[in-house]
Every structure is written in structure tokens, then in C-alpha cells.
Structure 1
Amino acid sequence: MPKQKTHSGLKKRIKVTGTGKLMRGQAYTGHLAMSKTTKQNRQLRGETTVHASDKKRIKSLISNLL
């Protein structure tokens, strides 16, 4: 059986912390920031964790990075 390849698009978007949590960037930050409030833009900065229901699927796609 061939080796599982790491999903190259996902490895650019996900970071694994030292404790094994998966971090991702926030959505809704790509463009049209001027129509959002300052508070919205500030709260969308930084990273957030991947939801628990998505972890199993994502871990299988980036299993070589873990």
C-alpha cells in the first residue's frame, strides 16, 4: 500500500503546537475589511484552534507533520 501524502494546501494553513493542538487562521479576513467594524477586525486577528469535530479529518491529512 502506498504511503499517505501530506496535504500540501493544508500544511500551509495549519500549525501544530507543542501540546498537539491544531491552530488555524480566522476566516473573513481576506478582504472587505473596511465594511467590518474595528472591533470585528481586531477580534479576527491572530489564530484560533481547529474545532474538535474537524480534528480527526485534518490529522489524517497532515499525519506526517505530527
Structure 2
Amino acid sequence: MPKMKTNRAAAKRFKRTGTGKFMRARANKSHILTKKSPQRKRRLRQGTAVDAINVRALEHMLPYL
């Protein structure tokens, strides 16, 4: 069976934790930051886990991650 290709766009956006969860960055942190509170901007720095509904698709896109 041939090697599976990794989806490079997904590989740049998602990381896998030690326990096997996929982590992603939060949205709304790139521009128009003046109206957002400092507390909100701090919360947006942290990543968050990918929803369970999307995990199967990510496992197909990232077979070796």
C-alpha cells in the first residue's frame, strides 16, 4: 500500500497533544483588536481542543501526526 499524503494546510494549523487530542488556535486574534478587551485577547492566545465531530476528518488529513 502506498504512503498516505499529509494535508500540508492542516499540518500547519493543528498539533497533537501527548494524549492524542488535536489542538487548534482560536480565531479573532489577527486584526480589529482595539475594541476587544485585554482579558478577551489573553484568552484568545491559548489554543483549544478540536471538537469531536471534526477529529475523524483530521485523522484522515494527518495520518502521521
TM-score grouping bracket, smaller chain normalisation: 0.7 to 0.9
Query: Unaligned regions of 5+ residues in structure 1, if any?
Result: none
Tell me the SS of whatever aligns to 1:64: coil
C-alpha deviation, 1:32, in angstroms:
1.2
Per-residue deviation, residues 3-60 of structure 1 (Å, max 9, x unmatched): 4310101101111111101011111111111121112111111110001111111111
Give 1:28's aligned residue.
28
CA RMSD of aligned residues (A): 1.4
**Aligned residue type for 2:22:** L
**Aligned residue type for 2:13:** R
Query: Unaligned regions of 5+ residues in structure 2, if any?
Result: none
- TM-score (normalised: structure 1): 0.86
Percent identical pairs in the alignment equals: 38
Tell me the SS of whatever aligns to 1:15: strand
For residues 33 and 59 of structure 1, the distance between their equivalents in structure 2, rounded to whole angstroms, comes to 33
**Residues matched between the structures, number:** 65
- TM-score (normalised: structure 2): 0.87
